[in-house]
Structure 1
Amino acid sequence: MKIGLFGVLTPETARTSKASADVQFLDPCETARKTAAEIRAQGAQVVVALTHLTMRQDKALAACAPLDVIIGGHEHSLLQSLAGRTPIFKMGSDARNLGRIDLNIEAATGKLTSIDWEIIPVTNEVPDEPQVAILIAEYEKRLSAELDKVVGSTGVQLDARQETNRSRETNLGSFVADAYRQALKADVALLNGGSIRTNATFGPGALTKRDLLSILPFENHLVKIEVTGALLREALEHGVSQVVEEREAGQFPQISGMRFVFDGRRPSGKRVVSVSINNQPLDDRKTYTLATSAYVYGGGDGYTMLRSARPVINAEEGPVEADVLINAVAQEGREIKPQRDGRIRRLDDESEKR
């Protein structure tokens, strides 16, 4: 019995990653159709696609390529669906669950007749693999002394969840953006919500170096650039362009030094209702200084419009974003207490009206 497997990445990878110049991004549908045919020609009786796509994209893939099973991700939720005769399974995220799929194949014909599947929760009751546990313990011993140093503390719970940081204002997103702006002495700051990781909450209580590095794990340097009001408005429009179309879109902007209102019910590209800086409406012709990451400045998460901005502090001169966060927590003294202050208002979110 031969089973063929191949992988398909989301087309957004081209703008959400730092791929080298020799990497090509091809159409998922056309590539899957061709690859599935090649695998079957090599004798595979069952073809499985391992995908990192939205459920909508997975269903489109099943419609255009002859696939027996799709094992997907991206939504970070437990999902099951059927597209035509192709089942789609997603096991959530962060290794919280394992999935077992049993393919029932007719011996005489080699044809797939049915599929059974099972969700296996990963809990503390699951024993560690002995050799891996020894390796982890060795690294923990070497790194814990530095990572477990207390940097400061928070008097409120810090929200590092993906669902919120990629769809609305959060107290942590605002605190990080404020730290960006203050460190680079810029008029305003913007970070992509997708750069805040861990998908967890912190505190109230002590904040260690481990905590803060897990929030901003990428070694992104900060930059200070000059942008017109029109360019800043375009960046904010891009930031909210996928809040309805794609759950947890990484480009959602966490901001500092400005306030804006948007409405997800409006068409993508026309969702920003108003923007203000220092209680004054954004002037499209005026030039402002913006603190952001080199990743965003380089077009990461689709912020390609910022590539045209003039740098005041470039990536080689700018600090690492995690260091800026660590310094901001340490400089606050005994305790930080960031709050949501309404700098971002989402008109189509009922929770924003309370």
Structure 2
Amino acid sequence: MPRLLHYSDIENVYDDPVRAARLAGRIRELDGPDALVCGTGDNTSPGVVALVDRGRQSLDFFDAVGTDVETFGNHDFDYGPTATRSLVADAPQTWVSSNVYEDDGRRFAADHVEPFVVRERGGDRVGFFGVTDPATPSLTPMATDLDFEGPYEAAERAVSALRDEGVEYVVALSHLGGGDDELARRVDADVVLGGHVHSERRERVAGTLLLRPGVNGHAIYEVELSDDGATATRHETADAEPMQSVAAGLRGRIEAAGLDEVVATVETPIERSDQTVHRGECRVGNFVADAYRWASEADVGVQNSGGIRDGPAIAGEMTLKDCISLVPFEEPLVVVELTGAELRQVLRECSSAAVDFGEPDWWHGHVSGASFAVDEAGELVDARVGGDPIDPEARYTVATPSYVLHSDHEFPTIDESHRAGEGDILHDVLAAYARECGVDPEIEGRMRRVSGAAADDD
């Protein structure tokens, strides 16, 4: 019977050569003639090494683990379609995508990307198709020249074609995140190998096994396909024997980048995991938002939670590499001008109760110079700038990543019409702030959720 080895969203694993080498080692350990190695997006970027090498550091990993099939995540377009086409052409695996198109209607990178493929393992034929979040142009500004078809219609065509070819099993390679449930209900797939959302998942929907291995290569799934249904085993990677060739290659890339300048010393470790960043006010969010406000002299600093990348805690000597790893995107800080009414709406949009994106209890932002509270319904019950209540008629300046002006997923109130100025690249702002002001953020009650009774008291 065929086996699948599933990784996804490994993103900045490349910035930790040992962890990347252990991930590769676990995959190679489990690999065999009956196995297919599968990736489901965001496996080329973002990260420090990815930013320096435009995602091409992933080619060494793909070669090492012998990836068989891969689909696209939104971050695989971080450096634009031309860079992605070049990477796909040089990668060893087959890229599978049913819903990504060039702006002239042709399939994206049609010479190297298939809408679906069939592979034989263990005496059985396994069909694969790939789908990517159609919101990618909003999530990734460099993907705006591409078209993303509705994934479910594309998936239905691919599955029909695969069943017509008589495959024994159909596998979805999905970078839809929360859309996997609908995918499972709409198409006849045996398993959905998912990604995009960074929390792990293993459950069945409409009889289909849905899997997500989480972020940064801490775990992979081994899937066994059989007539009795797909079953999955989770494997951690921390104790795997590392592939030394992978570690050595990444160390060489990091050293060549020259990013070891120390910009500050951090006495108390600063956590920056997804769990920390999306669960409310945190020290790393305050540090980033404070740096933005300091650099721009704006009234308020705002950082979208999704822009702070998961990784090990920052402690001891903080380097330029650490600053880049926090916000590994080549985008500038911008200043926007908002009315007080608009600013209040932006603060409200920090809450998942107000913006339907991500997990239900997520916080979508971090702020500096402002404080606010929302009730259980996501309504703003208190909002201040500099300690004073926000005047709906006044105008306020806000420093934020340029991505926020482009995206309608995080802080949809802010758009290009609000632009009032532009500053340095984000990670350069963090480094300058760290050199000048040090790094010792504290929790100050900037963002709060309150019960109905507490809201009434406010």
State the TM-score, normalizing by the size of structure 2.
Answer: 0.66
Q: Is the 8 A contact 2:128 2:170 kept in 1?
A: yes
Structure 1 CA distance, aligned partners of 2:361 and 2:330?
21
Moved over 4 A (4+): 242-245, 248-251
Which one of the candidate residues 178, 187, 192 is aligned to 2:304? 192
Residue in 1 that maps onto 2:230: 115
Residue in 2 that maps onto 1:329: 434
Which one of the candidate residues 310, 317, 326 is aligned to 1:215? 326
Q: Is the 8 A contact 2:171 2:193 kept in 1?
A: yes
Q: Is the 8 A contact 2:357 2:409 kept in 1?
A: no
| 1:82 to partner: Cα distance | 1.2
* Aligned partner letter, 2:309: R
Q: Is the 8 A contact 1:162 1:248 kept in 2?
A: no
Structure 2 CA distance, aligned partners of 1:171 and 1:128?
35
Structure 2 CA distance, aligned partners of 1:309 and 1:321?
21
* Aligned partner letter, 2:232: W
Structure 2 CA distance, aligned partners of 1:195 and 1:21?
18
Residue in 2 that maps onto 1:341: 444
Q: Is the 8 A contact 1:241 1:271 kept in 2?
A: no
Residue in 1 that maps onto 2:414: 306
| Counterparts of residues 199-278 of structure 1 (less than 5 Å) | 199-203=311-315, 205-241=316-352, 246-247=358-359, 252-263=364-375, 265-266=376-377, 270-278=378-386
1:47 equivalent in alignment to 2:161: no
| 1:308 to partner: Cα distance | 5.2
Structure 2 CA distance, aligned partners of 1:249 and 1:218?
26
| 1:46 to partner: Cα distance | 1.5
1:289 equivalent in alignment to 2:433: no
State the TM-score, normalizing by the size of structure 1.
Answer: 0.83
* Aligned partner letter, 1:119: R
Q: Is the 8 A contact 1:15 1:302 kept in 2?
A: no
Q: How many residues get paired?
A: 327
The 1:151/1:22 distance shift into structure 2, 3 A limit, reads closer
Q: Is the 8 A contact 2:201 2:211 kept in 1?
A: yes
The 1:249/1:44 distance shift into structure 2, 3 A limit, reads farther
Q: Is the 8 A contact 1:226 1:309 kept in 2?
A: no
1:70 equivalent in alignment to 2:192: yes
Residue in 1 that maps onto 2:292: 180
Q: Is the 8 A contact 1:226 1:288 kept in 2?
A: yes
Structure 1 CA distance, aligned partners of 2:249 and 2:279?
38
The 1:248/1:159 distance shift into structure 2, 3 A limit, reads farther
1:101-159 C-alpha deviation (Å, 9 max, x unpaired): 1222xxxxxxx3333332222135423063x444334324423xx32222111222213
Q: Is the 8 A contact 1:97 1:119 kept in 2?
A: yes
Which one of the candidate residues 109, 129, 132 is aligned to 1:6? 129
| 1:228 to partner: Cα distance | 0.6
Residue in 1 that maps onto 2:155: 32
1:275-303 C-alpha deviation (Å, 9 max, x unpaired): 11122221111111111111112236443
Structure 1 CA distance, aligned partners of 2:317 and 2:402?
30
| 1:74 to partner: Cα distance | 3.5
Structure 1 CA distance, aligned partners of 2:192 and 2:335?
43
Structure 1 CA distance, aligned partners of 2:449 and 2:143?
36
* Aligned partner letter, 2:192: I
* Aligned partner letter, 1:155: E
| 1:19 to partner: Cα distance | 4.6
Q: Is the 8 A contact 1:71 1:90 kept in 2?
A: yes
Structure 2 CA distance, aligned partners of 1:193 and 1:312?
23
Q: Is the 8 A contact 1:3 1:47 kept in 2?
A: yes
Structure 2 CA distance, aligned partners of 1:290 and 1:321?
15
Residue in 1 that maps onto 2:94: none
Amino-acid identity (%):
30
- Name the SS of the counterpart of 1:155 in structure 2: strand
The 1:141/1:238 distance shift into structure 2, 3 A limit, reads closer
Structure 2 CA distance, aligned partners of 1:228 and 1:137?
48
